[in-house]
Amino acid sequence: MQEYISDLLRQWQLPKSYWNIILIAVAIILGFIIKTVLSAFIRRNSEEGKSFSLVQAIITHLGGPLSYFIPLFILNILVPLMQLPPMVMHRLSKAVEIGLIITFSWLLIRSIKVVQDYVLHRFDYAKADNLRERKIRTQLVYLRQVLTGLILLLTIAAVLLSFSAMRRIGAGLLTGVGIGGIVVGFAAQRSLANLLAGFQIAFTQPIRIDDVVVVEGEWGRVEEITLTYVVVMIWDERRLILPITYFIEKPFQNWTRTGSNIIGTVFVYADYNLPVDQLRLELDRLVKDHPLWDGRVKAMQVTNTTDSVIEIRSLVSAHNSGAAFELRCFVREGLVAFINREYPHCLPRNRTELDWTQKAGVDQPTGDEAPKQPFKV
């Protein structure tokens, strides 16, 4: 083939460098044409009723990798037709081979993102009770991270092993893997523990993305789960970063473990004279038509007494923790305003009783000046 091409170039009086440039231009132009045709074909199928979100994900995520992979693939086919010295031919072939490995791994990583977007599109993550959706999203995000890391590791290994010198070094390492393996095992113990903890969290799911948790005394939502750490967004938009093994080894509260519905508590302290039945009617009025109350739980009880006040606990339920917090604040404000407006004398107060006692050397009032009973304040 090389001799035939050389004869043609001599007949056409075409320099070899021009021929090589033409082949490179052909690879780039063919790659552009093929990508354009594929994009048009995908868009046409989407107009026939297929999911536009999937088409958009394919075009968005795979457009960049295909712009490099297809021309490199065509150039890899055309390299043997080039008129180059053997050494230059070898180096060019090696460069194209490495480029194909890198772009193909890039294409695989973006394909995983396309699959993730398509699966998540089929589930309504924005609805109130999204337990199943959060479970699937947690598993998909973690699996995508694991597969991405695995692809990157294999890509680096493939690039290095494409060089004969690196293959010899790798063979030498394998022969001495005994003691070296033990050392590497101890060094990677923590990383392996994180990886195993991540798998356990992804499939047993003590936490999921968007779960409401109380950890280290802070209330927040699980924002991100990575291979090594978990990000919890606290209510004031601070981020609490915890190692992923924390959620396997230490206790924490998960308010949305089996569902997003939750019961909120409101405590009010008042005097013993407060008519609790009237306060209970006020609670009924407050939550009856409130949009945050889900209608499941509404109760009021006197849960404790002290020497000066009674403790009144109200229970109200909501669809999620955020709504429960807002509802609790609304009920607390309403009950306090009701007591202050209708029964101000029943607000918490301290009582003090003063009694006249006989003390040595102190004149006590007599007759009409003496008090008939202890003086109360």
Q: Are 198 and 142 in contact (CB under 8 A)?
A: yes
- Mention every residue, 6+ apart, whose C-beta is less than 8 A from residue 339: 268, 270, 274, 279, 346, 347
Q: What would the pLDDT profile of 111-158 be if each residue is shown by its tens digit?
A: 888 888 877 777 766 666 667 777 788 888 888 888 888 899 899 888
User: What CA–CA distance (Å, rounded) separates 149 from 147?
Assistant: 5
Q: By percentage, how much of the chain surpasses pLDDT 70?
A: 74
* Exposure class string for 127-153: b at 16+ Cβ within 10 A, else e: eeebbebbbbbbbbbbbebeebeebee
Q: Are 186 and 103 in contact (CB under 8 A)?
A: no
Instruction: Count the neighbouring beta carbons within 10 Å of the beta carbon of residue 40.
Output: 10
Given 3.30.300.330, 3.30.420.10, 3.30.930.10, 3.40.50.1820, which CATH number is that of 262-346? 3.30.300.330
Instruction: Count the neighbouring beta carbons within 10 Å of the beta carbon of residue 259.
Output: 11
Helix (H) or strand (E) segment spanning residue 213: strand 212-215
Report how far apart, in Å, the C-alpha atoms of 341 and of each of 9, 174, 211, 345, 350 are.
102, 83, 40, 10, 20
Q: What would the pLDDT profile of 195-222 be if each residue is shown by its tens digit?
A: 788 888 888 888 888 888 999 989 899 9
165-174, 195-204, 321-330: least confident range = 165-174
Choose from 7-11, 83-87, 172-176, 259-263 the range with maximum mean pLDDT.
Answer: 259-263
- Evaluate the CA torsion angle 192, 198, 199, 205 in order and state its sign: positive
**Smallest Cα–Cα separation from 16: which of 84, 110, 93, 64?**
84
pLDDT band at 95 (very low <50, low <70, confident <90, very high): confident
Q: Give the per-residue pLDDT at 185.
A: 58
Tokens 């009237």 -> residue: 278
User: What CA–CA distance (Å, rounded) separates 170 from 354?
Assistant: 93
81-90, 156-165, 265-274: least confident range = 81-90
Mean pLDDT of 7-14: 53
Q: Give the per-residue pLDDT at 28.
A: 82
Q: Give the per-residue pLDDT at 377.
A: 46
Domain ranges of the chain: 1-122, 134-258, 262-346
pLDDT band at 10 (very low <50, low <70, confident <90, very high): low
Q: Give the per-residue pLDDT at 182.
A: 57
CATH code for residues 134-258: 2.30.30.60
Q: How many residues does the chain have?
A: 377
The span from the first CA to the last CA of the chain, in angstroms, equals: 115
SS3 141: helix
**Smallest Cα–Cα separation from 267: which of 300, 289, 223?**
300
